[in-house]
Amino acid sequence: LWSGENYSVAPIKFKWVVGRFKGDFMGFEQHDAQELMSFVLDGLHEDLNKVMVKPYIENPESDGREDGSLADECWDNFLHRNQSVIVDTFMGQLKSTVSCDTCSRSSVTFDA
């Protein structure tokens, strides 16, 4: 580190450009790194997305189906609207389960 062969970079221009597109990142307050990465990757994905006409696809109901089957269908639906190197490299799925305390019914969704 102290040999003089390495140097640091201050990404002030990058920060300025990001702040122009999303005002939350203007100024010098501390920001969440995950929010910044999400914003930058989403912007890159939208510019690189190969899908020009995005069909409306309703999310499938879980109805007691196996997680693997439901996850595969949700991922296929997502890929009908989103195809980019960002999706291939950085995207995944989040499983969410909501249960009703009154009737004990559960609903499972998979979001990308």
* Tens of pLDDT, residues 8-66: 788 888 888 889 999 888 888 877 888 889 999 999 999 999 999 999 999 898 888 99
pTM to 2 decimals? 0.76
Helix orientation angle between 12-21 and 33-48, rounded to the nearest 10 degrees: 70
Structure tokens given for 101: 């305390």
Q: DSSP assignment, residue 41? A: H
Q: How far apart are CA 75 and CA 109, in angstroms?
A: 11
